[in-house]
Amino acid sequence: MKNEKFERLMSEIRNEQVDDQVVAQAGQRVWKSITGTDPAADLSTHTLRSCEDFQALIPEYLGKRFAPARALLFEDHVHACVACRHAIEHARDGEPKQVWRVEPKRPPAMAWGWAMGAAAVFAAAVAVAAFSNGMLPGQHIVRAAVQTVDGSLYTGSGAEMRLIPAGYEIRNGDEIRTAKGSTAVVGRDGGTL
């Protein structure tokens, strides 16, 4: 039952017709409260879009010639804006306003170029060393070859052990083992190990 009363009340409020003249008068009262002037006055002097607009009003603010609502809006901006806060402090002290600009210091372009060049040379040297030593992923460079086997020679570990014959090429990462009592001769780059 309470919901029905509430819905009926809301429906009456929605359907109520307010005269346009009443709305206009309410708008004028609010505007006069905020600005302290007649709403028919020139609106271009009341537009506040940037810090320069607020800073132009500093003499009026310091002379306390603002309406209370306008002063509240001005103070709200000043509390949030460091530049306007400094401008008010300078105006109170009678000093001319001085704008500070922070410019980032950059290292000279020449030093940056040398650093990038050195890094590129270092990266290229590491890549060449890794390639020539077979250290790159997926690269299986042949390091040696089995020349002779007397007995059994195995590669791998655990369940993946397999028997290898003479002539087998040993690559990076390959592990080879002889069985008990077996011997093998492995040659590297034309020599023997």
Mean pLDDT of 63-80: 82
Mean pLDDT of 54-68: 82
In this prediction the pTM is 0.31
Say which residues have a Cβ less than 8 Å from residue 171's Cβ, sequence separation at least 6. 134, 140, 141, 142, 143
109-144 pLDDT, tens digit each = 777 788 888 999 999 998 888 777 766 666 667 778
| Residue 58's pLDDT band (cuts 50, 70, 90) | confident
Question: Look-up: residue for tokens 């810090």?
Answer: 51
Cα-flanking dihedrals φ and ψ of residue 175, to 5°?
Answer: -110, 130
Neighbours of 21 (CB within 10 A): 8
Query: What does the alpha-carbon distance between residue 149 and residue 183 come to, in Å, rounded to a whole number?
Result: 6
181: tokens are 């009592």
- Mean pLDDT of the residues in the chain: 78
Residue 15 pLDDT > 50: yes
